[in-house]
Amino acid sequence: MKFSKSRFLLTLALIAADCVMLGGAYAVSIWFYTYLQKLHFGLMQPYLESLSIMLSAHALLFLLLGMHRVMWNHASIFDLVRLITNCLLSSLAGYFALRITVGGFTSPILGVCAFALFSCGAAFLRLYPKIFAEFREHLAKNHSDSKSIPIIIVGAGDTADNLLKDISSRVGKYRVVGLLDDNESKMGLSIRGTRVLGKVSDALRVAKETAAKEIIIAIPSATTEQRRRLIKECSLTGLPVRMADGVLSFGEATAAKFHSLNTSDLLGRGEQTLADKTTAEFITGKRIMVTGGGGSIGSELCRQIMKCRPQKLIIFDIYENNAYDIHQELLVNFDDFAKDTVEVYVGSVQDKSRLDYVFGKTKPQVIFHAAAYKHVPLMEECPRLAIENNVFGTYNVSGMAVAHGAEKFIMISTDKAVSPTNVMGASKRIAEAVIHTRERGGTVFSAVRFGNVLGSNGSVVPLFKRQIEAGGPVTVTHPDIIRFFMTIPEAVGLVLTAGAKAQGGETFLLDMGEPVKIAELARSMIEMAGLVPDKDIEIKYSGLRPGEKLYEELLVDGEKVKKTPDNKIYIASDERPADITADGIVEKLKQTLTSADKLRDTIKEIVPDYVYTPNN
């Protein structure tokens, strides 16, 4: 390994400085020892004779232990241990050199004193720039306290320690005025000079006493119930609450590693990252079509697909504004690559001639079918539209996939397709049957079934936010209604994984954890806004809407389920009657489109577990 000139000179300077300190440490130790023992100072003569031995030994140990390779401004505990080891061995070498030259006169006390002095001197020589820099930062921090934001950290563990370390290095931004932790043994103790002032239940008192302006929750290992309680206690202070993301791999924390509270934090469910290298390879270099590409799921599909570098991304959507928006976003985020890759087409999945034109022009290899009507009450009012768009549209797009030689067709379904009590859910169940029973040619067909998606258009979370901002009331249909939730990136990860692993005929499911009580979600969102439920913001129960049920399921009775290597993904495969076909389903539905009641009877015939209660 080659040394630069500057590094070589620095190594020599360090060895020389160490030798001076080692020699000086023994000189002081001998002087002190002879003074206490009232011995003759002639002992210094043999000391000078042994000096060359101890200094040569130190220089050799310095190089053997690699002390010349340490960057002391980034030193670790391990580096400090190596330095102490170096000092210990060098001191022992000096002691035995004295024993050789002086004989039995020398005492181990000389070696101990010399080691102590030499270790302190060597450590100070290397660490003084870092010590002085931190001292200056501390002075500057104290000077700027009046301008910095006083904050409380909830938690007194590794994450809190990393945040304190980072915050102390960012002079003028924040200052931590106290810690909160429910561990009794930590009460009154301190981390980096900041004391644990109480339990989490003391948040309001501590916030008032310290005049804190923000609270950061730094307990990433908290369970769902613990996280909700932490948020509730902290929100009662009326201060902005943020969540730390955890301890980074290399023990460093940055300001970007804590975020404002969001509904994912309220749900307390860790997001599952499903897309992997296999998924990326499945997308890379291929022509990919996304129907409904401007919607909540469709647009996120487009974003993640673009990261995998497809040959072509074809966005097909009936709403030109949505299609335009996602196209412009991709042009900004992917620049020249998007200009050459993304093609946008406006059209309806019910328009077979338009679909045929787009398929013929673009020749997609993989189709992600996200175009659908999804609002339960609106589809209850007009079931014909749900069938035409969700069933006939799926029939049309899947037929084009076969006709134009597509490799795979992945349809996005919903948990509302299981034991449906509404037309929307039933239409998605029938759409699943359409793709699983049609003539496939060389095309692989699979469906993906998941629950409610946080933040998607028309979901309950944006509605609650708007209602809270307007001063209430927050409307919940029923106090006992529960739902499964997942984030948009999770949903898209499942869809992409399904695309990569689909062999044909599967319905993919995601382990969605525990269902969430909507009333509790509403209460938590009100508390997160620093308000008190039923005092500042009323929670009003409006009654179940047409077609709505108290809970959703992911499996149909009789479906067989098996795990995949992804662990969080399952495959459901139910046994379907041999005589059912996609063409037969569509023809049967077309015959009863003009009558809502007859149409529901036909739906019931196709989906036996569909339950229709006119005024439920």
Q: What is the CATH number of the domain that holds 297?
A: 3.40.50.720
Residues 86, 88, 90, 92: is their CA dihedral positive or negative?
negative
**What is the rounded distance in angstroms from the CA atom of residue 231 to the CA atom of residue 244?**
12
Asked whether residue 159 carries a pLDDT value surpassing 90, the answer given is no
CA distances from 272 to 59, 248, 331, 486 (A): 54, 18, 28, 9
> Average pLDDT, stretch 162-186?
80
Q: What are phi and psi of 488, to 5 degrees?
A: -60, -45
Residues 397 and 500 in one domain: yes
Residues 256 and 189 in one domain: yes
CB of 118 closer than 8 Å to CB of 90: yes
The answer to the question of residue 477 being in a domain is no
**What is the rounded distance in angstroms from the CA atom of residue 438 to the CA atom of residue 426?**
18
Q: Percent of the chain, pLDDT > 70? A: 76
pLDDT band at 407 (very low <50, low <70, confident <90, very high): very high
The domain of 74 spans 5-140
pLDDT band at 560 (very low <50, low <70, confident <90, very high): low
CB of 133 closer than 8 Å to CB of 36: no
Q: Which of 198, 495, 282 is closest to 368 using CA atoms?
A: 495
Q: Which of 420, 431, 426 is closest to 391 using CA atoms?
A: 431
Q: Which of 450, 459, 462 is closest to 492 using CA atoms?
A: 450
Higher pLDDT, 88 or 313: 313
Residues 226 and 312 in one domain: no
Asked whether residue 335 carries a pLDDT value surpassing 90, the answer given is no
> Average pLDDT, stretch 90-102?
74
> Average pLDDT, stretch 423-452?
89
Higher pLDDT, 541 or 555: 541
What's the chain's Rg over C-alpha atoms?
Answer: 35
CA distances from 210 to 173, 196, 205 (A): 17, 12, 9
**What is the rounded distance in angstroms from the CA atom of residue 131 to the CA atom of residue 236?**
40
The answer to the question of residue 48 being in a domain is yes
pLDDT in tens, 503-548: 888 888 876 666 778 888 888 778 777 677 888 889 998 887 776 6
DSSP string over 200-249: GGGHHHHHHHHT--EEEE--TT--HHHHHHHHHHHHTTTS-EEEE----T
Which of 140, 169, 200 lies at the terminal end of a domain, its last residue? 140
The answer to the question of residue 167 being in a domain is yes
Residues 385 and 298 in one domain: yes
Question: Mind telling me the catalytic residues?
Answer: 416
With H, G, I as helix, E, B as strand and everything else as coil, classify residue 473. Answer: coil
Q: What are phi and psi of 368, to 5 degrees?
A: -105, 110
CB of 316 closer than 8 Å to CB of 369: no
**What is the rounded distance in angstroms from the CA atom of residue 36 to the CA atom of residue 595?**
112
Higher pLDDT, 368 or 455: 368
Which of 261, 277, 298 lies at the terminal end of a domain, its last residue? 261
The answer to the question of residue 328 being in a domain is yes
The answer to the question of residue 363 being in a domain is yes
Total domains in the fold of the chain: 3
Residues 322 and 440 in one domain: yes
pLDDT band at 355 (very low <50, low <70, confident <90, very high): very high
Q: Show the tokens assigned to 497.
A: 């994984």
Longest dimension (CA), the chain: 120
Residues 149 and 122 in one domain: no
The answer to the question of residue 596 being in a domain is yes
Residues 368 and 497 in one domain: yes
Residues 552 and 576 in one domain: yes
Q: State residue 72's pLDDT score.
A: 66
Residues 170 and 234 in one domain: yes
Which of 140, 164, 190 lies at the terminal end of a domain, its last residue? 140
Q: Percent of the chain, pLDDT > 90? A: 27
Residues 300 and 433 in one domain: yes
Average pLDDT, the chain: 79
> Average pLDDT, stretch 1-28?
73
The answer to the question of residue 214 being in a domain is yes
Tokens 């391990």 belong to which residue? 78
The answer to the question of residue 481 being in a domain is no
Asked whether residue 357 carries a pLDDT value surpassing 90, the answer given is yes
Q: Show the tokens assigned to 592.
A: 């009863």
**What is the rounded distance in angstroms from the CA atom of residue 293 to the CA atom of residue 354?**
16
> Average pLDDT, stretch 423-431?
94
Residues 379 and 254 in one domain: no
CB of 501 closer than 8 Å to CB of 507: no
Burial class (CB in 10 A: 0-12, 13-18, 19+), 527: buried
Burial class (CB in 10 A: 0-12, 13-18, 19+), 304: middle
Residues 225 and 95 in one domain: no
pLDDT band at 316 (very low <50, low <70, confident <90, very high): very high
> Ramachandran region of residue 471, left (φ > 0), alpha (ψ -120 to 50) or beta?
left
Q: How many helices (H) and strands (E) does the chain have?
A: 21, 22
Tokens 């499911």 belong to which residue? 509
